[in-house]
């Protein structure tokens, strides 16, 4: 009889323990904050459609290589690595600044769209249709890590892709595409919160995406931020621009792909509004640090307009001075918890040397390297630390020997990111319990 009683007691304790475990798991699920992923430049798919009546090209091949009046993959397509597809790609990606409207637009006859807004589908792989799709993997490892921690696509995990060629402008100036994106992102944040019991969201950005998110937060009232945003995690954010962007403008940048002539894509890269935004900030890099050295002149971040003029891109001077500079002069804290995850210890372009007058900027320069993540200089990655010294809600996590994009797949980096998200969610759990 006593043995039976003991067995009953054991069963009751086990059942109670299991019930507690179930309740605990349920509590953890119920208190998990939704996550919205915001990619960086080139970090999501783009599609385009051509109009034969209005599409203008200098090449007959470009006119007929892609059928008109149907959507096709503009970014990323492996054909861009082979001529004449490289030139066709560059033409279709090129933006044009309209001085009358003071805004940017697509090339004539080219319509573009961003597929899968709200989903992570368009930013996991840049071209999922390839047999070797893993070579175009972008946020796929990050999404998989989030899913292993219980996040579910479309329920509490969302993506906010955008047309990364466009940027934003300072106060009082139009920026139709960029402003529309901020409105879409704001709506996605509000909807994600609403469908998850009113819990504020965690925004997780990479690279250029961090600049957009900070602008979104600071362009909305404090009451809105506090209601809808729990935490902002920025990976590899170029807060003060990057010296590598000066290489892109001066000589073109082929991303290290040997088949692509950087001069073929230079004009298209110069036309990108967001690339102007990524030039080194005068506020951060100042007027003493030499960034580009030629036989005739040394350029710092403070004489960027002269640099743009001298490389043959005088049409970029006005939008740079009047639209971009106001965005880079000071970064205002959003008054919310912000975590920056940055890679360090990777050689990063710090000074560009153009030694030959004859070649000008048409030849790739010699490069002196410094610290950073291979793309963004350490000075830029750590800008918030120096600019917000009294901001207690700012946290910077350094990940040694991890590059700009490897932060999205390196096991140690992913572990630190997931630990941060777990702690954000546990903070709510502890307060509830």
Give the pLDDT confidence score for residue 433 in this predicted structure.
Answer: 32
Query: Is residue 110, in this structure, part of any structural domain at all?
Result: yes
Query: Is residue 48, in this structure, part of any structural domain at all?
Result: yes
Query: Is residue 286, in this structure, part of any structural domain at all?
Result: yes
Q: Whose CA is closest to 433, among 149, 26, 15, 12? A: 26
Give the pLDDT confidence score for residue 325 in this predicted structure.
Answer: 97
List, in sequence order, the alpha helices (H) in 377-410.
378-381, 383-387
Query: Is residue 199, in this structure, part of any structural domain at all?
Result: yes
DSSP code per residue over 235-252: ES--TT--HHHHHHHHH-
List, in sequence order, the alpha helices (H) in 85-238.
85-93, 121-124, 140-148, 176-194, 208-218, 222-228
Query: Is residue 5, in this structure, part of any structural domain at all?
Result: no
- Distance (Å, whole) CA 274 – CA 258: 25
Query: Is residue 351, in this structure, part of any structural domain at all?
Result: yes
Give the pLDDT confidence score for residue 188 in this predicted structure.
Answer: 98
Number of domains observed in the structure of the chain: 1
Tens-binned pLDDT, residue by residue, of the chain (433 aa): 333 333 333 333 333 343 334 333 333 446 799 999 999 999 999 999 998 778 888 787 787 777 777 999 999 998 888 888 899 999 999 999 999 999 999 999 999 999 999 999 999 999 999 988 999 999 999 999 999 999 999 999 999 999 999 999 999 999 999 999 999 999 999 999 999 999 999 999 999 999 999 999 999 999 999 999 999 999 999 999 999 999 999 999 987 776 789 999 999 999 999 999 999 999 999 999 999 999 999 999 999 999 999 999 999 999 999 999 999 999 999 999 999 999 999 999 999 999 987 889 999 999 999 999 999 999 999 999 999 999 999 999 999 999 999 999 999 999 999 999 999 999 844 333 3
Q: Which residues pair with 267 in a beta bridge?
A: none
Q: Catalytic amino acids?
A: 207, 373, 404
Give the pLDDT confidence score for residue 425 in this predicted structure.
Answer: 96
Query: Is residue 11, in this structure, part of any structural domain at all?
Result: no
List, in sequence order, the alpha helices (H) in 65-165.
85-93, 121-124, 140-148
Question: 75: exposed, middle or buried (C-beta count within 10 Å: 0-12, 13-18, 19+)?
Answer: buried
Q: Write out pLDDT tens, residues 216-271.
A: 999 999 999 999 999 999 999 999 999 999 999 999 998 777 678 999 999 999 99
Residue 56 three-state SS? coil
CB 407 within 8 A of CB 238: no
Q: Whose CA is closest to 41, among 269, 257, 351, 320? A: 269
Range of the domain at 224: 36-432
Question: Above pLDDT 90, what percent of the chain?
Answer: 80
The CATH number of whichever domain residue 167 belongs to comes to: 3.40.50.1820
Q: Would strands 229-235 and 201-206 be described as parallel, antiparallel, or unpaired?
A: parallel
Q: Which residue has the tokens 């807060």?
A: 239
Give the pLDDT confidence score for residue 7 in this predicted structure.
Answer: 32
Query: Is residue 16, in this structure, part of any structural domain at all?
Result: no
- Distance (Å, whole) CA 383 – CA 267: 30
Give the pLDDT confidence score for residue 2 in this predicted structure.
Answer: 38
- Distance (Å, whole) CA 236 – CA 116: 24
Give the pLDDT confidence score for residue 30 in this predicted structure.
Answer: 63
Angle in degrees, CA 356, 359, 360, rounded to 5? 80
Look up residue 97 and give its two tokens: 């600044």
Q: Which residues pair with 395 in a beta bridge?
A: 339
Segment holding 432, helix H or strand E:
helix 411-432
- Distance (Å, whole) CA 383 – CA 377: 10
């Amino acid at each position: 009889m006593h043995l039976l009683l003991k067995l009953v007691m054991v069963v009751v304790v086990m059942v109670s323990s299991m019930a507690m475990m179930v309740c605990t798991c349920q509590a953890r699920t119920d208190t998990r904050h939704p996550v919205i992923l915001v990619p960086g430049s080139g970090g999501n798919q783009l599609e385009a459609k051509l109009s034969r009546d209005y599409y203008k090209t200098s090449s007959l091949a470009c006119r007929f290589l892609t059928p008109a009046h149907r959507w096709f993959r503009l970014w990323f397509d492996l054909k861009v690595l082979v001529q004449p597809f490289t030139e066709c790609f560059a033409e279709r990606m090129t933006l044009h600044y309209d001085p009358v409207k003071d805004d940017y637009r697509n090339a004539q006859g080219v319509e573009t769209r961003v597929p899968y807004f709200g989903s992570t589908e368009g930013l996991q792989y840049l071209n999922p249709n390839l047999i070797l799709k893993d070579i175009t993997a972008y946020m796929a490892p990050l999404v998989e890590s989030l899913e292993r921690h219980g996040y579910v696509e479309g329920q509490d995990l969302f993506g906010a892709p955008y047309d990364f060629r466009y940027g934003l402008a300072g106060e009082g100036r139009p920026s139709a595409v960029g402003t529309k994106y901020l409105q879409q992102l704001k709506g996605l944040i509000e909807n994600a919160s609403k469908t998850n019991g009113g819990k504020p969201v965690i925004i997780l950005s990479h690279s250029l995406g961090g600049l957009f998110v900070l602008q979104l937060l600071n362009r909305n009232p404090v009451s809105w931020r506090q209601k809808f945003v729990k935490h902002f995690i920025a990976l590899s954010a170029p807060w003060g621009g990057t010296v590598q962007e000066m290489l892109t403008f001066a000589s073109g940048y082929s991303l290290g792909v040997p088949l692509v002539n950087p001069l073929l894509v230079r004009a298209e890269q110069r036309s990108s509004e967001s690339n102007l935004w990524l030039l080194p900030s005068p506020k951060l890099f100042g007027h003493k640090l030499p960034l580009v050295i030629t036989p005739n002149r040394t350029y710092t971040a403070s004489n960027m307009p002269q640099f743009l003029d001298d490389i043959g891109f005088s049409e970029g001077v006005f939008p740079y001075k009047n639209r971009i500079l106001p965005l880079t002069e000071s970064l205002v804290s959003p008054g919310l918890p912000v975590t920056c995850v940055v890679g360090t210890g990777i050689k990063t372009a710090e000074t560009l040397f153009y030694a030959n007058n004859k070649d000008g900027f048409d030849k790739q320069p010699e490069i002196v390297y410094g610290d950073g993540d291979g793309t963004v200089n350490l000075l830029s990655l750590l800008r918030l630390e120096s600019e917000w010294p009294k901001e207690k809600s700012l946290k910077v996590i350094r990940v040694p020997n991890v590059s700009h994009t490897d932060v999205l797949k390196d096991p140690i980096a992913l572990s630190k990111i997931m630990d941060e998200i777990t702690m954000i969610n546990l903070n709510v759990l502890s307060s509830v319990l």
